[in-house]
Structure 1
Amino acid sequence: MSMMDAVAPLAAIALIAAALHDMVARTIPNAIPAFVALLGLALRAAEGDLAWGLLAFVLVFAVAAIAWRYHVMGGGDVKLLAACALLPPPGSVADMLVAIALAGGALSLVYLAFRGRRPLPIPPRAVSLPARAFRAEVWRLRRGGPLPYGVAICGGVLLTLAG
């Protein structure tokens, strides 16, 4: 069993948790990017390319921090994106960023499809978490709220790791 085989399922669980939390609350808890970063550091150290992995981490963080500064990305997305730069081999980080951008574009198309339409009715209050999350999304769509970009990060990274 390779180190990637051990790390990939744990990273997938953490990324899915981040995506779900971002969908429901539009935040990503700090513990998730920290956990992903630790997994990535262990993986890069085991594969012998820790220095290149750290360089990729710093570069991705720097560019994402500039995007945060200009209100293009949220802080949780910046931290998660930088942590995820440690997961693939350093030579595949650009591929991962392209996959994330494509996933973000698809997510944007879904949201844009609902923004120009007649407003969706807000469902009645519900008890279950999925029903409450759906109600919150409909409310956000009506207001033109931000995208849960953690979903795009999750999708792009999982596609990169699977490929």
Structure 2
Amino acid sequence: MLIVSTLVCLGDISSRRISNRLVAMLLLCSFVLVLSQGHLLASHLLALVLTFLIALVGFYTKVFGGGDAKLLTAFSLSLPLSLIDDALFLVAISGGLLAVFYLVKYRLLKLVPTDEILGLPYGLAISTGFYITILSYYL
């Protein structure tokens, strides 16, 4: 899961795209993780549905892109419903730190390459927030 998450982050940072294949691999990894630990699948599926609805609203209100919505949903299967709020809180904190970094980079340091697509690679914040929560849950 760490390798796939890292590949998602690298792709999002370099091209502002999140590969559907990598998201599908993360969903599969999440499913295998839940089954291997013997957790109750119903709570995890409920978390997936709730997160999907949140992601859908975020996508349609243009808060974030489709890849980010799919990534949130794929990661959410690995956690029970009771921990989704913790993961989303850590995603928000990670996203805030990411925003400050890019604000400094683009506005204060004027390091805006002409060929780079502007915006935040929010897949990095999503991966960080969910991965920390997943590690704390399973370790």
In the superposition, the TM-score normalised over structure 2's length comes to: 0.86
Is 1:96 aligned with 2:112?
A: no
Q: Which amino acid aligns with 2:120?
A: L
**Of 60, 68, 75, which residue of structure 2 is paired with 1:77?**
68
- Contact 1:22/1:151 (CA < 8 Å) preserved in 2? yes
- Contact 1:44/1:89 (CA < 8 Å) preserved in 2? no
Match of 2:41 in 1: 50
Is 1:155 aligned with 2:128?
A: yes
Structure-2 change in CA distance of 1:155 and 1:121 (3 Å)? closer
C-alpha distance in 1, partners of 2:51/2:78? 13
Structure 2 stretches lacking a partner, 5+ long: none
- Contact 1:22/1:150 (CA < 8 Å) preserved in 2? yes
C-alpha distance in 1, partners of 2:70/2:59? 10
| % identity of equivalent residues | 34
The Cα RMSD (Å) is 1.9
1:154 to partner: Cα distance: 1.6
Structure with higher Rg: it is 1
| 3-state SS in 2 of match to 1:116 | helix
Is 1:27 aligned with 2:17?
A: yes
Structure 1 stretches lacking a partner, 5+ long: 1-10, 123-134
Structure-2 change in CA distance of 1:76 and 1:121 (3 Å)? closer
